[in-house]
Copies of this chain bind each other. A is one copy, B any other.
Amino acid sequence: MELHGRHLIADAPSADAADTTFTGVDPTTGDALSPPYCDATDAEVDRALAAAEAAHSQLIDLDRESRAKFLEAVADGIMGLGDALLERAGKETALPAARLTGERGRTCAQLRQFASVVRDGSHLEPRIDHALPDREPLPKPDVRQMHVPLGPVVVFGASNFPLAFSVAGGDTASALAAGCPIVVKGHPNHPGTSEMVGRVIQSAVRAAGLPAGTFSLVHGRGHAVGLAMVKNPRTRAVGFTGSLSGGRALIDAVATREDPIPVYAEMGSVNPVVILPGAASERGEAIANGLFGAVTLGVGQFCTNPGLVFALDDENTSALVHRLEALAADAPDGTFLHAGIRTGYRAGCDRLDAVDGVARSGRADGDGGPGGARATPAVYTTDAATFRDHPALAEEVFGPSTLVVRCPHRDDLTAALATLSGQLTATLHATDADLLGAGDLVALLRDCSGRLVLNGFPTGVEVCPSMHHGGPWPATSDVRTTSVGTAAVRRFLRPFCYQGFPQHLLPDELKDGNPLGIMRLVDGAWTDDA
């Protein structure tokens, strides 16, 4: 595929502002990667959303089998790009081939999993209450409900998953599965990867005979393009994965709209890990090894990266910390997705280094290499009192570092946990004996998080129906929804109720005979019977 460097506005390439361009950059060398891309203009954004709005009125009644096949065609098309996609993504992100191969697999598996959800149909949550014409004092009408798509969705590609949370990533798959047209804002650090995947989706739209406005992709370097997209009156929902400041800017922009719309922003998280004494004693070294692997996985660029560790201040914790410090001291450097992440990482590390009572091992990261994007892992340690007196120590440092907080007493541990803000995940390492008296810790960790991992590590988010990847602010902007797993389809649906409709005018999902065999709530009872 020859990259053309243009936005994909419905079925047409466009580049109205081609005089002000940017390119992808190879973070290992700092070299610009052709072709150049430009920021979408307000007119281009509006054209994309107008096309999406027009597509919505057709997509809303598209049969579910066609929608499922379309999602599968996108997955097939991504695989059809072959190594060229992995090579381009590798150039733009410095992510190794094995990781990108795995991420491509996840991306396609997500699309296929949502195709299954669409075929199953129970995500539409059909409900039927039959009429009771003789009820006193008033007859009961026939009332039936199912979910329908919200309308045009704006999706922001994330930098840290150039495939699985970018143009054809989780937000895209769930919004398309819901039946919504989408306009993607490609992440400016992998525009070529975005274009390749975008053109696959565009081809799948054409091949399926769907309205052209089902999919658009616009590029943009600064904040203006994204803000124009979320403020556009045609936009009905927003999916975003990125920084707290980025998410906050979108939320604030949406708050200026006349009509509130859902903003699903998945933002920062420090993902606290608590290690109880029995676990530290029984398998301290294994925990240290696993933890260090989780901290440094993907150069620490995961939203589930464990950035805070709490343990009691005993000899087993000392041994565990020494092991972590030894791993950090020996750790090789890695290359971030772009130089901007190194700038943020260094600023975060400098913030920790400046605090009296915080010690560091590792991070001899030099000049960042030719692309200015190289950095090394760091393990910090502190005590509960210092942690309590410096609330900034609980803030995320995006990258391969973690801070171990040694707590003299169990009360210090619970006090520290009670101060935590919202998290995507929390993790507890504990033996059966540790767990006997740990109900209060489990409750504290549940209160602040969306997923609690026992004796494991939070990185590696399984894509499955039970997964919840969400959590209280500031981990996300909407604690009620997930961005990973099949339940994400709900974000882009709304309930709709038919009252007094004859059978032949109802959607198949709501007909008495249950021709589609869906699980439904009929007169208050769950059934997939006719």
Contact = CB atoms under 8 A, between A and B. Distances in A.
B500 A260 contact: no
B466 A494 contact: no
Contacts of A422: 259
Interface in A165-191: none
A260 B129 contact: no
Nearest to A449: B496
Contacts of A528: 526
Contacts of A227: none
Interface string A461-494: 0101111101011100111111000010000011
A480 B468 contact: no
B470 A495 contact: yes
A137 B98 CA distance: 12
B450 A496 contact: yes
Contacts of A128: 466
A530 to B, nearest CB: 16
A454 B500 contact: yes
Contacts of A97: none
B452 A521 contact: no
A485 to B, nearest CB: 8
A473 B259 contact: yes
B496 A141 contact: no
Given A140-B462, A143-B462, A435-B505, A467 B102 contact: no
A50 interface: no
A453 interface: yes
Interface string A413-453: 00000000010000000000001000000110011001111
Interface residues on A, range: 35 or more
B497 A450 contact: yes
A148 interface: yes
B260 A452 contact: no
B467 A524 contact: no
A349 interface: no
A57 interface: yes
A225 to B, nearest CB: 23
A116 B260 CA distance: 33
A128 B466 CA distance: 6
A143 B57 contact: no
A251 interface: yes
Contact of A129 (B102, B446, B466, B505): B466
A494 B465 contact: no
A290 interface: no
A526 B150 CA distance: 25
A230 to B, nearest CB: 14
A149 to B, nearest CB: 11
Contacts of A472: 259, 494
Contacts of A466: 127-129, 143-145, 497, 521
Contacts of A145: 465-468, 487
A350 B447 CA distance: 53
Contacts of A344: none
A255 interface: yes
Given A260-B478, A477-B260, A524-B465, A496 B446 contact: yes
Contacts of A493: 480
A113 to B, nearest CB: 9
A174 to B, nearest CB: 14
Contacts of A251: 260
Contacts of A462: 129, 140-141, 143
A35 interface: no
Contacts of A140: 462, 464
A438 to B, nearest CB: 9
A477 B252 CA distance: 16
A353 to B, nearest CB: 27
Given A141-B462, A451-B496, A468-B496, 18 more contacts: A57-B447, A116-B524, A128-B466, A143-B464, A143-B467, A144-B466, A148-B446, A259-B474, A260-B263, A450-B494, A450-B495, A452-B497, A452-B498, A452-B501, A454-B501, A456-B500, A466-B521, A467-B497
25 contacts: A127-B487, A129-B464, A129-B466, A138-B460, A140-B464, A143-B462, A148-B446, A259-B422, A260-B263, A442-B505, A450-B494, A450-B496, A450-B497, A452-B498, A452-B501, A453-B499, A454-B500, A464-B524, A467-B497, A468-B496, A472-B494, A479-B494, A480-B493, A480-B495, A526-B528
Interface of A: 57, 60-61, 102, 116, 122, 127-129, 137-138, 140-141, 143-145, 148, 150, 251-252, 255, 258-260, 262-263, 422, 435, 442-443, 446-447, 450-456, 460, 462, 464-468, 470, 472-474, 477-482, 487, 493-502, 505, 519, 521, 524, 526, 528
Across the A-B interface, give the 4 residue pairs with the lowest CB-CB distance, nearest first. Answer: A259-B473, A468-B497, A451-B497, A255-B255
